[in-house]
Homo-oligomer: A and B are copies of this chain.
Amino acid sequence: MSSNFTTKFAIPEVIFGNGAIKHLASCARGLGARRILLVSDMGVEDAGWVQMVMDLLAQDSLECVYFNEIDSNPRDSQVHAGVEVYLAEGCDVIVALGGGSPIDTGKGIGIIAGNGGNIADYEGANRIMRPLPPMISAPTTAGSGSDMTQYSIITDVSRKVKMSIISRSLVPNISIIDPTMLRTKTQELIIASAVDALAHAVESYVSRLASPFTDHHALQAIRLFVENLERAVEHRDPKALEQLSIASTAAGMSFSNAGLGALHSLAHSLGGMFDVLHGLVHPIMLPAVMRFNLPECIEKMAAIGRITTGRDHKNDVSAAYAGIEHLERLFQTLNVPTHLREILPDPEVLEPICRMAVYDACTMTNPRDVTCEDLQSICKEAW
């Protein structure tokens, strides 16, 4: 961090632990809730968590209106449908329960409820001028970090663009993180979420806006991810799932304040055009993006290499490469796609994907300057 650089660091109040969700009603009351809009989705419903949360609120005589019209890549129209419910029902606090999709949708509903207009009006950084209703997030995956962050990612369907909306006022008031909720997730979702958290940690650690307030969160997340992923995936070990929750939370604290990079630009662009599960883009693209960025951040890439391999190395360059190779091997053991050709129809689509990715807000904080041609060669390497 240069000496004349002002850095900002903001996170929600965190309540963490197995069973922590039982504090929801008192947290909502503390924010002045009388009638809550509960935002979630079918997957979370099927696991029984929506009913449990409704019961918790009812026990405390809090009224609750439920909204669940959400895709895994939430759409602009779904945000606006949610706002109509929020306003028509006279809600005063938003509780978002789920992975990144319900939480990002909850944030979108809050933006329009507090500021009016169309969700696309707020695309980019710092476009939200008026306060949002109080919001509590309760993540059921360990990955998106949306419960920690000033980001909301909403798909503009007509333009086929995943919009990044970034504002301090999108940091929820409170995040209640209860790792027991991870126990009902499919293996695929645990992997996709955890790899997303890893990607947040790596990209924010080398970001142009990284600071002493974000770096140690990023490194903690990388270490916990490497130490716990396999046990969490293969055995659903509760202790390992708890550690992945901590990793995801730490990664969220880091990337919300430090920003991301070219990997997320590409993932957003690709996710806007093809409805792929966001986290599954990272095992394919992360190593190629890291190799591209390496010349601009050798020391930090070496630190990542030392943490992931658990070994010292004779110099920074070999530590950095060893780390990238370690992650590549780890992704191969996960039984997920590791080549773009497995998820995209043909190489012709790469050019429009990259053309759009250059303009994503995440491109600005990538440690190395990046052009459309650079992104295309990264994609070709990962094809």
Contact = CB atoms under 8 A, between A and B. Distances in A.
Interface string A9-47: 111011111111001000000000000000000000000
Contacts of A15: 6-8
A30 to B, nearest CB: 9
A238 interface: yes
Interface string A249-279: 1100000000000000000000000000000
A376 interface: no
A220 interface: yes
Given A11-B11, A13-B168, A168-B13, A212 B246 contact: yes
Contact of A211 (B8, B9, B10, B16): B16
A196 B89 CA distance: 52
A228 to B, nearest CB: 12
Contact of A23 (B6, B211, B220): B6
A250 B17 CA distance: 22
A4 interface: yes
Copies, count:
2
Contacts of A246: 212-213
A374 B116 CA distance: 62
Contact of A8 (B8, B14, B217, B220): B14
Nearest to A17: B6
Contact of A5 (B9, B17, B23, B217): B17
B6 A242 contact: no
Given A8-B13, A216-B220, 18 more contacts: A3-B239, A3-B242, A4-B18, A5-B17, A6-B17, A6-B19, A7-B14, A7-B16, A7-B17, A8-B16, A9-B13, A9-B14, A11-B11, A13-B168, A16-B211, A212-B246, A212-B250, A216-B216
Interface of A: 3-11, 13-20, 23, 168, 211-213, 216-217, 220, 238-239, 242, 246, 249-250
7 contacts: A3-B18, A3-B242, A4-B18, A5-B17, A6-B15, A6-B19, A14-B213
